[in-house]
Structure formats: C-alpha cells, structure tokens
A = this chain, B = another copy of it.
Amino acid sequence: METGKGKDAGRDTGGVGRRLVTLRDVAKAAGVSTATVSLVINDKKGARIGEDTRERVRAAIRRLGYRPNALAKTLSSGTSTFIGLVADGVATTPFAGQIVHGAQDEAWKQGYVLLVANTEGDEGVEKDAIAMMLEHQVRGILYSTWYHRPVEVPPSLDETDFVLVNCFGSDRTATAVVPDEVQGAFTATEMLLRRGHERIAFINTTTPSPARTGRLRGYQEALSAHAVVADEALLLDAQPDQEGGYAVAEQVLHTGATGVFCHNDRVAMGLLDALRERGVTVPGDISIVGFDNQEVISAHTRPALSTVGLPHYELGAVGVRLLLGLEDTPRDAVVRVSCPAVERDSTAELPQPRIPQTTHPRGR
C-alpha cells in the first residue's frame, strides 16, 4: 500500500472512514479542471486533450490512488450500471448458480453490474427485492426461477424493463428465455436411436410442467423422425427423483426396452441403483440417458451418465442480451435455448437382439 494512499488522500480519514480522493483532488493535483479529468478518465471520443495533459492527469490518478465513484457517475449521467437478478433458489439448487454466472458474465461484458436477490420463493422477499432494485436505479430486471415453469409476473416489474428467465408469463405475455425441452428430449432420444435402439422406454415425471409435456413431445418426435413406431407400453411415469427411478425399475424391465430415456439425472441414478441390485448391467444390457446434466450426479454414477444439458448459463446470458435489446427478437418473444447432448458411458450400441423378434409388439 505504498501506492500513495495515506499520503494526502486523508481528509476526513479518521481511523475508520477511508478514502475520499475525488475527481476534484485529481484535478487540483494535475493542475487542470475537473471536466478535463472526467474527459480523460472516460476517454471520450470527441475530446481533444493534449497528450501531455492526459499524462499529467493519469499520473495524478495513480499517485493519489483515485477510484471513480460509480454512484455519483450514475446519478449525474443518468445511465444506470446495474442489472437486477431476482432468483427463487440460488441457495437450494446447483442450477440457479449457473444462471447467475451467465447473467453476470454477459452483464459485465456490457458494462453492467449484477444486483442479485435470492427470494427462495417467498413473495414478501420478492416484492422487497424488486423494490430495492428499482430504488437502486437498475437498468432492468431478470426474473428467474430454478426450474422451468409458468409464473405470474409481479406487477412492480412493470416499472422497469424486465425479462423472464427459465420461466414464462402464465397470465400474460412477456419477453422470456427458456430451455428448449422438445429439442432436448429429441436429442436425448436420438442418442439411443443412433446406437440402434428402437425399443426405448421413457420415464416421464408425474408432475405437470413444461418439462413433462415438452420432453414427451421431443421423445415422440424423435421416434417418428427415425420411423420407429411408438408403443404406449414404453411410457412410464415416476416421481422425478432417485426414489422414483428406483421404484420404476421393475416396470422398465417388463417393457423389454433396450434403452431408457429418463426424465432427469436423478431418476436415472435411482434406476441405475435398482438395476445394479438386479444384476442388470448398464450399458451392457440396457442403455440409459438422463436429462439436466446435474454434474455432481451424472458425471459420477457408474457408469457415468449420458445425458442432455440444461443451458442455464446461456439462459442467464441471453436474458441480459434480451434485456439490453442486443438480440434482434420481437418484444414479448419467448426465446428457446437448446439443450446440448453430453454423451458419457451409459449408452452403447444395441447388442445382438437377446429377445426374439416376436416379442416386439408392433414392428417398424
């Protein structure tokens, strides 16, 4: 800290209070006006300042350890430096963190700073959070949820620009960005189809949601795209977690499926456990694909799980771009971000049919 701080910066510096090197101090030190300093700092285009003066100013800035006051700048210029992000679950899920990360990276790139508020689903907290952001003059607000779902847009959001992230308006339209469930499920199913599987079971969730309907559709579209006839018997339902996957194992075995597409990685993990107990090997006997790419799980099951990723980072980033009008999308559009395939070790070529053709109810 021999940067020259304690030198002559301290005016009010009384033990506790630190710092207080203002533009004016720099101006005085450099023997120029504050306007000049302001100009070189922001190095404004049109400004014609002598190179010598510039250098003198820069020197003074360094010498005094000057830091611009972003708040004063905002107040004066009227251009905000904040983007608000309200999330309903940064704490309880690994997913929200990715949204925050994506949003932050993009925000920084655009010269903004993220104001994050975690509501954990509490409406009161949410209202306060939005109010707080409004009072801090945010450029706009990203309203995000940790799982893809419809939401009632809080009225106070209308006081600023906003975009919904990982959710969409249930009661009205609003600009939003969500994962492409259909494409994701299509991709997952194709991971199996491409390896020769045709008898593919789909363990969907019991919970009504965009994920449930979207993934079912993606699964069906993939089958028909590959000219594989759908068999209702292959459609299973389960509670969307390890317990659900574990419980449905017997049914899966009964379908005679050679490949299974699970609603999410947790279900896949439960299924894996159950199959192991029954001596069924994966991917030897059965290939499995998950959804979400929840790393803590999918990267470490045995075998490591082939799955499809939920693009949370992208959602956050695209959210910011939409907010700032950087994406050329119509207002109130719902943009869909695709889910990438993450192929690991739970998928393999279909072995020579162990089950005679006759068991195959409806041929292809």
Contacts and interface: CB of A to CB of B under 8 A. Distances in A.
Contacts of A297: 296-297
A108 B115 CA distance: 13
A152 to B, nearest CB: 15
Contacts of A1: 155, 158
A270 interface: yes
B296 A266 contact: yes
A135 interface: yes
Contacts of A277: 276
Copies in the complex: 2
Contacts of A36: none
Contact of A118 (B71, B92, B100, B120): B100
A4 to B, nearest CB: 12
A132 B160 CA distance: 24
A297 B269 CA distance: 10
A62 interface: no
A18 B120 CA distance: 29
A293 to B, nearest CB: 13
Interface string A53-68: 0000000000001011
B101 A97 contact: no
Contacts of A158: 1
Contacts of A246: 302
A224 interface: no
A187 to B, nearest CB: 23
A120 B101 contact: yes
Interface string A101-115: 100100010000111
A65 to B, nearest CB: 8
Contacts of A132: 70, 113
B136 A116 contact: no
A18 B159 CA distance: 7
A241 interface: yes
Contacts of A104: 116-118
A7 to B, nearest CB: 14
A273 B243 CA distance: 15
Contact of A19 (B114, B159, B276): B159
Nearest to A105: B118
Contact of A71 (B108, B128, B136): B136
Contacts of A131: 67
Given A72-B75, A118-B100, A313 B91 contact: yes
B94 A93 contact: yes
Given A93-B97, A273-B273, 10 more contacts: A1-B158, A69-B135, A90-B101, A93-B94, A94-B97, A101-B118, A101-B120, A242-B300, A270-B300, A297-B297
Sort A-B residue pairs by CB-CB distance and give the 7 closest, nearest first: A91-B101, A242-B300, A94-B94, A70-B135, A116-B116, A90-B97, A91-B97
29 contacts: A5-B159, A18-B160, A65-B159, A67-B135, A69-B135, A70-B136, A71-B75, A71-B136, A72-B75, A90-B101, A91-B101, A91-B313, A93-B97, A94-B97, A94-B296, A97-B118, A101-B118, A101-B120, A104-B118, A113-B115, A114-B115, A114-B116, A241-B300, A243-B300, A246-B302, A266-B296, A266-B300, A273-B273, A276-B276
